[in-house]
Amino acid sequence: MQVEITQNDSETLVKLDGQSFAVPQHWFWKQFADNWEPQTYAFFEKNLIKDTAYLDIGAWIGPTALYATALGASRLKLVEPNPVNFFLLLSTQISNQLFDRWFLVNACLSSKMGSEMIGPISGIKSGSSATNIREEHKDGAEIISLKLADIAPEEEQFSLVKIDIEGAEAFVVKDLSLFQKRSSAIWLSLHPPFITDKEEFLADLMSLEDGFYFVDENNAQIANATLSDRILTTEEKPEWGTEWGNFFEIGLLPKQHFEENGTRKQ
């Protein structure tokens, strides 16, 4: 996808393959134009079906929402807990008249319905939405928490689901089993340095293998041994991670709806 960014004093214009979106000023958009997360875009392009729904949990300021919009998603459910990020998403929705396509939810994904604390406040101001890396004595903001079943009830169908929740995936990974019978391709961000018990997380993830294929951005299967090595490594900046450390994504394809080679069943 060709990405072009132009800026003026009040807003930024993001152009994706000729489709233009006005977004609030933010330091990230220049980085977005510089071949940002090509693996993520490859998975989206391969698995998002035009004129179907898309679920984005941890939408941040909207880069993956813009990808999905440009690729033709008919309805986008965007979940973002950080009030600063949520305001920017809302501004983008208003500026681009996306009221009939974007449905915004100001909440976090958790193991329970109720409330959680994100923070500290300095992190909220800089864009963090993490619930599990805030020290208990530090300040924060209380937000609504929802279980995955609340965010994605059975009657809602998505061709693509993206989950990026900064380490809190450890609390909800087993809940992904609810997608086993649905046709949703899942793009899951993993943050091992933020996970306290990596062995337990790995076991929880592997408990899903009866229902899902674990794949890369091209829907090619990833060996269990490779996943284990990547999650349990002590390397601070492994070759498969990012400039910030051992952070990477994997796809989960429900076996009822995908072939072993990663193609959707007809």
Please name which of 249, 224, 92, 247 lies closest in space to residue 161, comparing C-alpha atoms.
Answer: 249
Q: What angle do CA 171, 177, 178 make, to 5 degrees?
A: 105
Q: For residue 207, give both structure tokens.
A: 């408990």
Evaluate whether 185 touches 47 at the Cβ level (below 8 Å).
yes
pLDDT, mean of residues 25-52:
95
The structural domains of the chain, ordered by start, are 25-254 (3.40.50.150)
Q: What is the C-alpha separation between 156 and 158, in angstroms, rounded? A: 7
Percentage, residues of the chain above pLDDT 70: 95
Q: What is the pTM of this model?
A: 0.94
Q: For residue 247, give both structure tokens.
A: 């952070």
Cβ neighbors of 8 (< 8 A, separation 6 or more) are none
Q: For residue 264, give both structure tokens.
A: 């959707």
Please name which of 202, 207, 149, 221 lies closest in space to residue 179, comparing C-alpha atoms.
Answer: 149
The DSSP result for 156-167, as a single string, is: ---SEEEE--TT
Instruction: Please give the single-letter amino acid code of residue 175.
Output: D
Q: For residue 69, give both structure tokens.
A: 């919009």
Which helix (H) or strand (E) segment holds residue 19: the answer is strand 19-24
pLDDT digit string (tens) for 236-261?
999 999 999 999 999 999 999 999 99
pLDDT digit string (tens) for 195-247?
999 999 999 999 999 999 999 999 999 999 999 999 999 999 999 999 999 99
